[in-house]
Structure 1
Amino acid sequence: MTSRAAVFAATFAVLFAAHQVADYWVQTDDQARNKGEPGSSGRRACAGHVASYTAVTAGALEIANAVLGLRVPVAGRVAVQAVSAATHYAADRREHGLMMQFARRCGKGAYLDNGGAAPMDQAWHIASLAVAAGVAAVSAQ
């Protein structure tokens, strides 16, 4: 039986690597430019990015689950992707999403406005991947 700590560590590593590929290599220029725009065009661009992002992270987790014997059941893998996708969308809608609103309420508005948006976005994503890896660890059999 694989320990929950090992499942967490392996899942986090796999999700982090997949995140880098999906966020920087797979995301289209159009999605990157428009995902934070208001209205349906911004929502569509962000949804398209999150869909391709989720496909990459899901594929990576499927491979890891099989090759590494993580024993994360289908329901657990689906829950991992739900956490990852929802939190990714919440950040990438920028001012129209939850992450920036939350950051402003926490007193980080000046930091956001002075070049801190990208690092805060990535910190949000990485923390969300840790939560998703925790879901995988708790669900592992």
Structure 2
Amino acid sequence: MTTAAARFGAVAAVLVCAHHVGDYWTQTHRQALTKGRPGAEGHRACAAHVVTYTLGQAAALAAADRYLGLGVHWRRAAAGLAVSAATHYLVDRRSPLEAIANGIGKGEFYKVGAGHGCLGTGAAAMDQSWHLGWCTLAAAVVAGPGRR
């Protein structure tokens, strides 16, 4: 296995785990309720959530890099975290995710469980799978080939 491949595995695990902490532990209830609303209030709530989410990913990545000696270059880390943050913000505004779901023929799945007040909805599943997919791509950006 190459050094980049091993680094990718470690970074992906760190970003995915930090993603869950950021989405379920550090996000406030108000942010969760407000981030999809139109206008400045929704944009502010979503931005505040993404800032704390990204800071958590950055802290976890820095700790893993230091403890495990991953050799992550700060420019690659910044680029990967930017990918994670930008794609997280986009979908957490809610209407873009619904538009994407409708555009690819998944609109009915998106609506599964809607109105029942639970986390087990199609929208929630699509939201999380979107985030995890982009966390994985962000990890590839961070890991990059060769030691930096």
TM-score range, shorter chain: over 0.9
The answer as to whether partners of 1:18 and 1:56 remain within 8 angstroms in 2 is yes
Work out the number of aligned pairs and report it.
138
The answer as to whether partners of 1:76 and 1:140 remain within 8 angstroms in 2 is no
State the alpha-carbon separation in 2 of the partners of residues 70 and 22 from structure 1.
Answer: 22
Match of 1:121 in 2: 127
Runs (4+) off by over 2 Å: none
Match of 2:136 in 1: 130
State the alpha-carbon separation in 2 of the partners of residues 139 and 23 from structure 1.
Answer: 29
State the alpha-carbon separation in 2 of the partners of residues 100 and 68 from structure 1.
Answer: 39
Match of 1:31 in 2: 31
State the alpha-carbon separation in 1 of the partners of residues 144 and 137 from structure 2.
Answer: 11
The share of aligned pairs that are identical, in percent, is 49
Match of 2:105 in 1: 107
The runs of 5 or more residues in structure 1 that have no matched partner are none
State the alpha-carbon separation in 2 of the partners of residues 54 and 140 from structure 1.
Answer: 25
Q: Whose helix fraction is larger, Structure 1's or Structure 2's? A: 1
- 1:100 is displaced (CA, Å) by 2.7
Match of 2:67 in 1: 67
State the alpha-carbon separation in 1 of the partners of residues 102 and 134 from structure 2.
Answer: 18
- 1:108 is displaced (CA, Å) by 0.8
Question: For residue 15 of structure 2, what is the amino acid of its counterpart?
Answer: L
Match of 1:82 in 2: 82
Question: For residue 132 of structure 1, what is the amino acid of its counterpart?
Answer: A
The runs of 5 or more residues in structure 2 that have no matched partner are 114-121
- 1:137 is displaced (CA, Å) by 1.8
Kindly report the root-mean-square deviation, in angstroms, between the aligned alpha carbons of the 2 structures: 1.2
